[in-house]
Each structure stands twice: as C-alpha cells, then as structure tokens.
Amino acid sequence: MRLRRPAAGFALVMIVAAAGCGGSTPTEPGRTPTPPPQTPGPSGPTFAGTLTATNGGEPIAGATVTAGNVTSVSDGHGAYSLAFPAGALPSGFTITGTGLVPRSGFFSSSGSRTVDLDAFRLDSFDQEYFRAIARNGFEEPARLQPLRRWTRAPMVYIRTVDDAGRAILSEVLHQVAAIASTAIPLYSRGRFGVAAIEFGTETRMNQAGWITVDWTRDASGFCGQAHVGREGGIVTLTYDQPGCSCGSQKIRPRTVKHEFGHSMGLWHTGHSADLMSGIGISECDRNMTARELQYLEYLYRRPVGNTDPDNDPSSAPRLVDMLVRH
C-alpha cells in the first residue's frame, strides 16, 4: 500500500491552533504587571492666608504656624498654608518665630477657607508697657490680668445726687456727660460711641450695657474709682472736696477722663506723662498721649480674655470684678 504525505499547510494550521489554546497570554520575562490606577482618598480642610504684624501691618516671613500636627512656615510675603488630612478638625493654632511675641488662638470653623493671622513684632512693641496698661502689670506684675474691654457701645447713667442724697449741680452733671460723649469713642478707637446718657436718682449697677456715675463727698484718699472694663460697673467721683476739685470746678476733668479710661478696660501705666499714669498729679486736665492711644488700638486687636503673653481664649471668659482707685 502506498502512504500519502499530509499537505504542508495542514501541519502549520494545527501548530498555530495549539498555540492559541489554553487562556492567558504569557508575560515577558522580568516585567511586572502595571496595577490599575487608584482613586485618591478624601482630603481634609486647608487653611491659608497671610501672617502680618499686629503693630505695623507688614508681612511676617519665616514664622512657624502650627495647628495640631500640621506646620507651615510663612514665605517672604507672609503667606502660609495648612493642609489637614481627612477627618481632622483643626481648632487651635500657635505662631512662633524670632523677634515675635508667641501667639496662640483658635480657628472659628473647620471648613477650608482663608484665615489671615497676626502677631506682635518685638522690635516695635513695648511688651512691658502693654502689660501695664492692658493687664495691670504696673501695680501687680506677678498677677497679670486677662484683657477686658467693652464689645459694644455702653449706656451711661449719671446720678443726680450723691451718696447722702444731696443734689449735684446741673453744670457738673452736664460736664461729665460731655466728657463721656467724647472719651468713650476715643477709648474704643472709634469703634463705637455712647448708646445713651440718662440722669436720675437711681442706679444701673449690675445691669448689662450700663456704666453708672456715682458721687461721694467722702474724700478718704481717692478722687475717683471705677470697675475695670465691666458692664454694669460703677464710676465713683469725689465731689467738691479739696484735692479733687480744681478752682471753681467741683471735680477735675482729668479725673473724670481717667476713671472712664478704667471703665473702658485700662489700668495704670506708671508713666507720669500718661492720663492713665496712676501717679497723683494735681493738674485740672489732661488728654491721652499718642502712646496710650496706640496701645489702646492693640487692646482692641485682641479678644476679651486674652492672657499673657498673647493667648486667645477658646470661649467667652468670666472675669473677676476689679475696682481701681485714683
């Protein structure tokens, strides 16, 4: 019998078919498969802004801003940026750097936003003077007080009789009203004026929103006294007494201005040139110095309750009443 050889094309077809069976395509030797792209996880909020000097307003470069475990160093333009991981709830921050008064405070919300910050530069800031006028550092340097001041326009109630029920001259009452109308806008650095002025024989002591002007004729070592930065507080003036009057004036205008300074949140400075010096001077009148007005502005650049050296409170503080005599 004669055998017939298969056609060459048939064998080739079979080989190709065999190579195509079996499933996966072989991987080239030494090559790792590329994983599929990953979807980025959620990110947290970002706080970014500019850090400037409280005293001057110029940008601060090279300062460290820290919140939780996140840190940023301000650039040459004072810009900083804090990017938080997902789930982070940033609240407190600190600012530190060469030549700065360290500051700490709290963010008011947790969503991404622009937050401009500021800190005091020591090269143009007299920290001891600020401690005196804003923290009672002149009289009690070992027991510095939190900042206290008004946050709204006060109403002024001027009693028309003294502590014994005797009448106060109308011209004196209106003199005090005029001083209050001028001094309070000045002592708030133009942020607010006097909401109302009333006269009467009653009192508004311990009533929110009021300052009561009271009178005494008992000159027992002081011409005036006042609660410091307290709503519902009292300004007491010694009326028509030697050492407290000035010529025909029953009360020195300087004393009235000084006591309203206390009622708006200021302490004694210990500097004889100042209206708020706390050093006995017999002159009839005096106005605030440029430095007093400058540091008054710094007082209003910080919240009530700010503590030394520059720490903002996390919530509204409860301040102990303080009465100062002069």
pLDDT digit string (tens) for 90-122? Answer: 789 999 999 999 999 998 877 788 999 999 999
CA atoms within 13 A on the CB side of 219: 10
Q: pLDDT at position 326, please?
A: 74
**What class, spelled out in words, does domain 155-312+319-325 have in CATH?**
alpha beta
Q: Is the per-residue pLDDT at 142 higher than 70?
A: yes
Q: Is the per-residue pLDDT at 41 higher than 60?
A: no
Backbone angles phi, psi at 236, to 5 degrees: -105, 130
CA-based nearest residue to 64, from 120, 112, 92, 102: 102
CATH 2.60.40.1120 occupies which residues in the chain? 46-125
170-187 vs 253-263: helix axis angle to the nearest 10? 50
- Is 46-125 CATH 1.10.20.140? no
pLDDT-derived band at 40 (thresholds 50, 70, 90) equals: low
Q: pLDDT at position 22, please?
A: 47
* Rounded-to-integer distance, Cα 153 and Cα 181, Å: 11
CB burial readout 231-267, b (16+ within 10 A) else e = bbbbbbbbbbeeebbbeeebbbbbbbbbbbbbbbbbb
Q: Is the per-residue pLDDT at 304 higher than 90?
A: yes
Average pLDDT over all residues of the chain:
88
Q: Rounded to 10 degrees, what is the CA torsion of 202, 208, 214, 219?
A: 140
Percentage of the chain modeled with pLDDT above 90: 73
CATH 3.40.390.10 occupies which residues in the chain? 155-312+319-325
Q: Is the per-residue pLDDT at 27 higher than 80?
A: no
Q: How many residues does the chain have?
A: 326
Q: pLDDT at position 30, please?
A: 60
